[in-house]
Amino acid sequence: MARYHIETYGCTSNRGESREIERRLRDAGHHQVEGPDAADVAILNTCTVVEKTERNMLRRAKELESETVDLIVTGCMALAQGEEFRAEDVDAQILHWDEVPEAVTNGECPTTTPDADPILDGVIGILPIARGCMSNCSYCITKQATGRVDSPPVEENVEKARALVHAGAKEIRITGQDTGVYGWDKGERKLPELLERIATEIDGDFRVRVGMANPGGVHGIREELARVFAEHDEIYNFLHAPVQSGSDDVLADMRRQHEVAQYVDIVETFDDYLEEWTLSTDFIVGFPTETDHDHEQSMALLRETRPEKINVTRFSKRPGTDAADMKGLGGQTKKDRSKAMSDLKMDVVAEAHEEMVGTERNVLVTEQGTGDSVKCYDDSYRQVIVQNASEYGLEPGDFATVEVVGHQTVYAFGEPI
Ligand code: SF4
């Protein structure tokens, strides 16, 4: 869990995006603090309306860089003129706002709400199925707060899911530190059974998104899980399995509970069962013991498995963790590796979205977007934005068929058919 400071400049759209960043950070257990000097990470949401504003943004970025451990720059100027920050030698991660919450996590798993009660947010129902994990990653402080996995019975979670659907949820997000180890503490991993029962026993038109599941937990249930995904349209064909590194040496130093080959097995199994699916993964770049060769192995793994969604986090030390005591890499090395991986990520993700153009997709509208747009997700949990939504009468909770007519790097644009 990180302490963060956020500053927002410019229009109401920027402010809305910052609110969403704050909401997601809060849901993941991070804490907002007053002032960058008390924060692990500062977030600068920039505006670029006039030249004077640009100069102010660059000046503020430099100040924040010197006042906090890590800096993330997002917003209009970051996306349109990210090079200016680099030209001024500002040491920051430059990200689309949607990527900020993941980057703040520093490779740790999200935390669930303390009482693990479901939350209904519009048509999205958030269902924490268990608390805790079975790992002890050397860079993680979340573990200190959450402990070992503690899994309520499947029946209890099915009832919570049913209550969410009855209350109006159209998308159920199954969350937990590590959903793949749900049930492990009771002697049997139960995620496939839970999904099957939600899909078959609950009446209604809804979708289920499975939250983060570490490769170590998924590997042993990969066949069952892929089969359940394939058999039930209710479940998005989406798996978030954070590999974190393409080097087994680094994974061992991180004390991850998987090896690279197991992650590749999972990808191959899902490829065998599903015609189309979305692989989401995370990489930590610049872990203290990561050599140039290790970094190249991570780059090669990314090229080989080509995830459609990738979170790249530049390693930073969290106090009280074992990794914080390791001798770190130089800032420039971390910066160079992070840039190389982020550039590769952009190419891989853009290619995946380019391939969507011209295809027809069934989507669920989940949220209002900016202006008169709505945010939708297709069966593989790829984000599709429909503009002029009121003309089509589309609102959150509706299902529609769209043709993909274009894309940005991390999402597509669709028009209802
Ligand atoms: S799996 Fe690792 S990173 Fe995730 S909560 Fe457990 S110890 Fe932390």
> 76: which 2 tokens?
């209009």
Please tell me what DSSP assigns to residue 147. -
pLDDT at res. 43: 92
- Which residues have C-beta within 8 Å of that of residue 327, sequence separation ≥ 6? 288
CA separation for the pair 343, 98 (Å, rounded): 17
Ranges of the chain whose pLDDT falls below 70: 1, 49-52, 69, 110-116
Question: Are 222 and 266 within 8 A, CB to CB?
Answer: yes
Distances (CA, A) of 190 to 154, 181, 187, 342: 7, 8, 9, 35
> Other C-beta atoms within 10 Å of 33: how many?
16
pLDDT at res. 114: 47
Pairing of strands 383-386, 399-407: unpaired
pLDDT at res. 115: 57
Best mutation site among 30, 108, 287 for ligand 1, i.e. most ligand atoms within 8 A of its Cβ?
A: 108
**Cα of 177 from ligand 1 centre, angstroms:** 7
pLDDT at res. 1: 67
Question: Residue 63: what are its φ and ψ, rounded to 5°?
Answer: -60, -45
Pairing of strands 374-378, 360-368: antiparallel
**Cα of 173 from ligand 1 centre, angstroms:** 19
Query: What domains are defined for the chain?
Result: 3-104 (3.40.50.12160), 119-354 (3.80.30.20), 360-416 (2.40.50.140)
Distances (CA, A) of 184 to 153, 228, 257, 345: 11, 19, 14, 33
- The beta-strand segments (E) located in 93-240 are 93-94, 119-121, 124-128, 171-175, 207-210, 238-240
Closest ligand 1 atom to 133 CA: 6
- Ligand 1 surroundings by CB, under 6 angstroms: 108-109, 133, 135-137, 140, 142-143, 177-178, 214
> 147: which 2 tokens?
């402990």
Give start and end residues of each alpha helix (H) in 5-153.
12-27, 51-67, 76-80, 82-87, 100-104, 142-146
Closest ligand 1 atom to 146 CA: 5
